[in-house]
Amino acid sequence: MSASRPSEALTGEALLVALEQATVRVAEPDGDAWRVNDWVKRAILQLFREDAVVEQHAGAAWPFVDKESLSVRAFSLDQKVRLVPGGSSVRRGAHVGAGCVLMPPMYINIGAFVGAGSMIDSHALVGSCAQIGERVHVSAAAQIGGVLEPIGSRPVIIEDDVLVGGGAGVYEGVLVRERAVLGAGVILTASTPVYDLVNQVVLRGTAESPLEIPSAAVVVPGSRSVTNEWGSEQGLAMSCAIIPKYRDGATDAATALEDALR
């Protein structure tokens, strides 16, 4: 089934299974662009509206209270997902590709897509409907923001072979193109200015087009001086992000994923 074609029958358990198997996605590549399938988010929200809140158990000693359909996912050996014990969970309706490693404690929410061979490290969050590509490393304490409302809002999209550094945060529909590297502590939102020192341009999101990080860009935290007279007198600065370079051989060596861990 194409995710671009809504189906009135795709609700409840059928919707959750389709999301988990990635036969439907909240967003999907369309050439070099991405298409957001609003109907999928509507169907997820409809599930929230209709489902009762009940007591549930994930195993004998892990009680919780949530919407009836939204238990946590269980994985079998043939799915080739390594879910390490220690407080992690993957909510129903999230896709996790073969070869992924999920380190405790981490969390993947409904509607999210995590591509094959990716690692979600300790204390990391993949929010609702976020789209993570293949061979992506979401490092410890990194936050990939989620979105269900407003319906038309675009989810965060992280393309293939991206490294998201420790404690980084990506929110509000930001698009990170393939092979980019986000340094530890980088925060990217729809309104974050990104100063590309290599190409001498400032990258910004707009109402029509979210902030886009170019392919192979290396992004680090930065700051810019406040130009207001009083702020300048106080020596104040505002946060921004800086691209000091694009990936090269040294970067590739420093960010290479270890097959042994998978």
Question: Residue 138 is part of which domain span?
Answer: 12-54+68-253
Mean pLDDT for 173-197 is 97
Domain annotation covers residue 84: yes
Nearest CA among 252, 161, 144, 155 for reference residue 215: 161
- Tell me if the bond preceding 105 is cis, omega within 30° of 0: yes
Model confidence pLDDT, tens digit, residues 135-152: 999 999 999 999 987 766
pTM of the model: 0.91
Domain annotation covers residue 155: yes
CATH of the domain at 153: 2.160.10.10
pLDDT for 5 equals 55
Model confidence pLDDT, tens digit, residues 228-255: 999 999 999 999 999 999 999 887 877 7
Please tell me whether residue 18 adopts helix, strand or coil conformation.
helix
Domain annotation covers residue 211: yes
Mean pLDDT for 12-21 is 95
Is the predicted pLDDT of residue 96 greater than 90, yes or no?
A: yes
Domain annotation covers residue 1: no
Alpha helices (H) in 119-245, listed in sequence order: 229-233
Is the predicted pLDDT of residue 4 greater than 60, yes or no?
A: no
Domain annotation covers residue 3: no
Domain annotation covers residue 225: yes
Mean pLDDT for 27-46 is 93
Domain annotation covers residue 201: yes
Share of the chain above pLDDT 70, in %: 92
The DSSP code sequence of 39-102 is: HHHHHHHHHHHHPPEEEEESSTT-EEEEETT--B----GGGT-EE-SSS-EEBTT-EE-TT-EE
Model confidence pLDDT, tens digit, residues 104-136: 999 999 999 999 999 999 999 999 999 999 999
pLDDT for 2 equals 45
Nearest CA among 175, 173, 109, 181 for reference residue 138: 181
Query: Which amino acid is residue 255, in one-letter code?
Result: T
CA distance 262 to 255: 15
Is the predicted pLDDT of residue 7 greater than 80, yes or no?
A: no
Alpha-carbon dihedral sign for residues 19, 20, 21, 27: positive
Domain count, the chain: 1
Domain annotation covers residue 7: no
